[in-house]
Amino acid sequence: MKNLRPICFLVFFSYVQCQTLQRSLLAAAWNHTNSQNYLQENLRDITSIMVAQFLQKSTYQEVQTIVEELVHRAEKCKVLKPQESPSECSHQLMTTFLEHVCNNQGMADKQEFSDCCNINNKARLKCFLLYKKDDTEYSDVFQIPNLEQICDVDKENQASVKERYIYETSRKHPFLYGPTILTMSACYETAIRSCCQEENKTECFQIKLEPIRKYVREISLRHHHLCEIGIKFNHKVSKAVELVLLTKKQPKANFSEIAKLAGDVKNLHQTCCEGDVVACVLGRSQLMNDTCSKQSALSSKITPCCALSVPFRGECIINSENDDKPDLSSLPLSRFTEDRFVCKQFIDKQDDLLPEFLYEYSRRHSELALSVILRVYTVYQNLLGKCCKLENPLECYSHGKEMFQRVVGESHERIKNHCDLREKLGDANFHDRLLSNLVKQKPRATEMQVQLIIADFAHLVETCCQAEESEMCFRGEGSKLIEKCQSLLGHK
């Protein structure tokens, strides 16, 4: 759909701003699980997440049986010291798990993994990952058939309710990172216990479980998109994405801190996307500890988060507000387009110059969408690639500022075009134009899929064109629409 494509591209590279969970629920869950030994105590749950995310067609009991056989292999991961790498034990656990599946012909056939089992270990994991699917046939969260019954079950065996939730959430959301599932399971368990004390249990469950369900759904889409970025683009692109996002969130931090953090975050995403839940949980914990040890240099907004323990610290930091923008008037961006030594830096240290430009541009333009900043970055890279071959490169790349402004102007113009087209055609004709474009692009889409997307997009344009900050509105609300579009149409 031609009119939708620019926003699709914009949001593909964007994080979803998840709804904040009820503070009272999060605080209660934190108090319930506030233990320094959280990771060690939850090794079984971590293993269960890994198994359920790979074996989405397995029953709850089948998953628990495999977990029992695997968990003793992961025992030594419990005693890792913070400075030690979890890669060895987590790699062994993953290898053992894949071998277990492949040695069980019935299980391999049921999960359609037979082809994967015929190739070596390194390629085998990649093959297994290709079979992970966000599938709507699985319930969104563990459905409660009888509220009184689940309260009785929780009273008799508190672990089973939480374990069942972990199983259901993991198989429904195979790309959702393990640390997030652990956090949400603690929130879910706390909600169950709280509501079982209430007279009107049904109303209580509806109020307390809805924000959990919504958060899980939205952040699962975020994690899936991060994994797609890692697969579709090289590591430099992935790191550039992280560098922009981190700079926008922590604009006061210096370049060296942001660059290091971007590399660490990119590596953690890769680990989590490969389904290595043990390494993902331990890596996330270590990354958040490192972040909190430097909080004064990074951001004032994460201080409350750093007072929390695992597993809540990570979710809190990730969803914290962007820090206040610093005064950068004494450091003009023009040094990247007016300094006569730019080409020497570009030729000798391109991997230093370009990321620093991206950092400096991002912290000055936090209001711009990620895709717009990346396009400015690409324009600058191509400009230097061309100009630095000329006899007078400075005269050539000194026009960079105007080119950057042109990119930003084009972004504003696309949004204005959407609004002008709606105003010109009227709601009914605008709807028909969108419908025609989408049918041409996706002729196999069902009528229901098409109508859902068109109705949502028409509402998006109507809402955002009337907003004071229309571009911010398109960025925020558009992200949810495009994720829905990708999910409905099977976009990969």
Mapping DSSP onto H, E and C, the string for 154-176 reads HHHCHHHHHHHHHHHHHHHCCCC
CA dist., res. 126 & res. 124, Å (int) = 5
Which pLDDT does position 5 carry in this prediction? 30
CA separation for the pair 281, 311 (Å, rounded)? 9
What is the gyration radius of the CA atoms in the chain, in angstroms? Answer: 24
Q: Is 45:91 a contact under the CB 8 Å cutoff?
A: no
Q: What's the confidence (pLDDT) of residue 326? A: 85
pLDDT per residue of the chain (492 residues) written in tens, 0 to 9 = 333 232 222 222 222 222 334 444 444 444 444 434 555 677 889 889 999 999 988 888 889 988 888 887 666 555 555 544 445 566 677 888 888 888 877 777 776 777 888 887 678 888 888 888 875 455 544 454 466 667 776 566 656 788 888 999 999 999 999 999 998 988 888 888 888 888 888 888 888 888 888 888 888 888 888 888 777 777 788 888 899 989 999 999 999 999 999 999 988 898 899 888 888 888 888 888 888 888 888 888 888 888 887 778 888 888 888 888 888 876 778 889 988 899 999 998 888 899 999 999 999 888 887 878 888 999 999 999 999 999 899 999 899 889 988 888 887 777 777 777 777 777 777 767 766 766 666 666 566 555 656 666 666 666 677 665 556 566 555 545 544 454 444 443
- Count of C-beta atoms within a 10 Å radius of residue 102: 18
Q: Which pLDDT belongs to residue 147?
A: 61
H-type helices in 197-254, by residue range? Answer: 201-232, 235-249
For residues 132 and 174, is the Cβ–Cβ distance under 8 A?
Answer: yes
Residue 284 vs residues 82, 107, 193, 387, 451: alpha-carbon distances, Å? 12, 31, 28, 42, 40
Grouping H, G, I as helix, E, B as strand and the rest as coil, residue 16 is coil
> Using an 8 Å Cβ cutoff, are 25 and 191 in contact?
yes
Half-sphere exposure in the Cβ direction for 243 (13 Å, CA)? 26
CA pair distance 213, 236, nearest whole angstrom: 34
Residues of CATH 1.10.246.10 domain(s) within the chain?
234-319, 328-413
Residue 381: enclosing H or E segment and its boundaries? helix 370-387
| Domain 328-413, classified CATH 1.10.10.10, yes or no | no
H/E run at residue 411? helix 400-441
Q: How far apart are CA 426 and CA 120, in angstroms?
A: 59
Cβ–Cβ under 8 Å, residues 308 and 186: no
Does the predicted TM-score (pTM) go above 0.85? no
Place of tokens 């019954």: 149
Say which DSSP state 85 is in: -
The pLDDT value recorded for residue 142 is: 47
Tokens 């110059």 — which residue? 353
For residue 333, the one-letter residue type is L
Angle between helices 87-103 and 43-54 (to 10 degrees): 50
44 φ, ψ to 5°?
A: -65, -45
Secondary element (H or E) of residue 379:
helix 370-387
Instruction: Let me know if domain 234-319 sits in CATH 1.10.246.10.
Output: yes
**Token representation of residue 214:** 């919504």
Residue 476 CB burial class (10 angstroms; 0-12, 13-18, ≥19)? middle
The fold for domain 426-491 equals Serum Albumin; Chain A, Domain 1 (1.10.246)
Tokens read off for 58: 């397995």
DSSP string over 105-164:
HHHHHHTT-HHHHTS-HHHHHHHHHHT----TTS-SS---S-HHHHHHHHHH-HHHHHHH
**What SS3 string covers 444-472?**
CCCHHHHHHHHHHHHHHHHHHHCCCCHHH
According to the model, what pLDDT value does residue 230 have?
A: 75
Residue 251: cis peptide before it, omega within 30 degrees of 0: no
